[in-house]
Structure 1
Amino acid sequence: MIGVVVTAFAVLGLLTVIPGPDMAVVTRAGLSGGRSAALRATFGVVAGLMVWGALTVVGLGAVLAASAEAYTVVKIVGGMYLVYLGVSTLWRSRTRPHAAPSAPAPAPSSGSSWRAGFLTNLLNPKIAVFYTGLLPQLVPPGWPTAPSLALLVLVHGLLGIVWLGAYSILLTRARTTLEKPSVRKVLDRITGSVLFGFGAVVVAEAR
């Protein structure tokens, strides 16, 4: 039984640390607004996970995953949102060199970073597939299904906070280097390209 629990937590940990849109959105927020923005994006990401987790616990997530039309809509909307974030980040990298070094770009509002993280996961169809398809298989035999799913969702959320929170701190500790115009331009272009690429792939898969 202990081995089954350890395996379940290991799978959740692996899913957490694999780079994806979540990390790209946190990077985008950290480069724009510093540590506080990155942490807000982190909590937004986890909030999106909690929504999918709640839907899975009550059984609504499986209904959505079983509907080809609804799933396609989520994929298209989610992919387009990632494309939008990528394009806006690339545009920022294009305009940044024209700004005076002493006048940095304004930091995002307290809500925008959280909202970006939240929507990124809320509109991520792969999270829906994982929660409705794989997560129930991680429930140890003999354990009550709904409480066990809720526990696994909470563990996944805590792992996300720890991982992305630590990443946010490490990212912004290098602020002196990251604030150099040439470095910021390169990082913005990498982050924007990653977000755009993720979004384009999701939209293409929905066709």
Structure 2
Amino acid sequence: MFGIHDLTLFVVSGLLLNIMPGPDSLLIMARSATQGWRAGCVTALGIGAGTMVHVLAAAVGLSALLATSATAFNVVKWVGAAYIVWCGIGMLRAKLRSDERAAAPAVTALPYRRIFAQGFLTNVLNPKVALFFLAFVPQFISLDAPNKPLAFLILGCIFNFNGMLWCNGLAVFTAFASARLKVKPRVALWLNRLTGSLFLMLGARLALAERN
């Protein structure tokens, strides 16, 4: 249907690729551990919105520009790397705050709109995600497909839906595991800072990334 083949293989491969750790997973886990499952799920929704931008861009051919133009790729790469590093620095600078409802201090919470924006921008400013869709999805579209952009869009939506299942599950699991283990605010703060350090390394890695 729609020129799509091996859909089961696509779904399984997509799930395995989503499970692989990366900046998206790290950000979800950091937010869930420090601010609860709602914050983790909001992060996941932001990431899903960013993924849809890549899917739509690839479906209409805009992502091909990143694959063929060194200038376009480098611009997006440097902006994305700078943003990831900026997020990492923000996590490293996180401090404890006094919670009026608890005797112990807690990590300063971010508003949900900022959490959503972080998830969205971390994903959408990563040109490697765009190149991934261009390389992965077309393998499951027949050469004689009547409408290749539509087939690409359908597969992209399936991939994103499966990714959202994983990301939201990861958010809930991390939050409840943190609560179960009774992670103290100071420990959560250092987990946040550890994630910030990893973001600095990921930003540097993205800055050094090549198109191929």
Report the TM range for the smaller structure's normalisation. 0.7 to 0.9
Taking structure 1 as reference, are residues 40 and 105 closer, same or farther at Cα in structure 2, changes over 3 Å only? same
Alignment partner, residue 192 of structure 1: 196
Taking structure 1 as reference, are residues 114 and 178 closer, same or farther at Cα in structure 2, changes over 3 Å only? farther
Q: Distance in 1 between matches of 2:25 and 2:162?
A: 13
Alignment partner, residue 44 of structure 1: 46
Displacement, 1:90? 1.6
The answer (yes or no) to whether the contact 1:30–1:168 under 8 Å persists in 2 is yes
* Aligned 1:20-59 pairs, distance under 5 A: 20-59=22-61
Alignment partner, residue 141 of structure 2: 139
Alignment partner, residue 156 of structure 1: 159
Q: Distance in 1 between matches of 2:196 and 2:142?
A: 40
The answer (yes or no) to whether the contact 2:81–2:204 under 8 Å persists in 1 is yes
TM-score by length of 2: 0.86
Output one character per residue of 1:28-80: Cα deviation in whole Å (capped at 9) or x when no partner.
22234211111111010010010010011111111232111010011111111
Displacement, 1:136? 1.5
Q: Which runs of 4+ in 1 moved over 4 A?
A: 98-101
1:181 counterpart (179, 185, 190): 185
Q: Distance in 2 between matches of 1:40 and 1:103?
A: 23
Q: AA paired with 2:171?
A: S
The answer (yes or no) to whether the contact 1:28–1:89 under 8 Å persists in 2 is no
Identity score, percent: 30
The answer (yes or no) to whether the contact 2:104–2:185 under 8 Å persists in 1 is no
Q: Distance in 2 between matches of 1:72 and 1:162?
A: 32
The number of aligned residues is: 203
Q: Distance in 2 between matches of 1:104 and 1:12?
A: 37
Across the aligned residues of Structure 1 and Structure 2, the Cα RMSD in angstroms comes to: 2.3
Is 1:6 equivalent to 2:3 in the alignment? no
Q: AA paired with 1:170?
A: F
The answer (yes or no) to whether the contact 2:4–2:141 under 8 Å persists in 1 is no
Taking structure 1 as reference, are residues 102 and 151 closer, same or farther at Cα in structure 2, changes over 3 Å only? same
Q: Which has the higher helix share?
A: 1
Q: SS at 1:107's partner residue?
A: coil
Displacement, 1:158? 0.6
TM-score by length of 1: 0.88
Taking structure 1 as reference, are residues 185 and 35 closer, same or farther at Cα in structure 2, changes over 3 Å only? same
Taking structure 1 as reference, are residues 189 and 20 closer, same or farther at Cα in structure 2, changes over 3 Å only? same
Q: Distance in 1 between matches of 2:160 and 2:75?
A: 25
The answer (yes or no) to whether the contact 2:138–2:152 under 8 Å persists in 1 is yes
Taking structure 1 as reference, are residues 189 and 145 closer, same or farther at Cα in structure 2, changes over 3 Å only? same
2:115 counterpart (87, 107, 113): 113
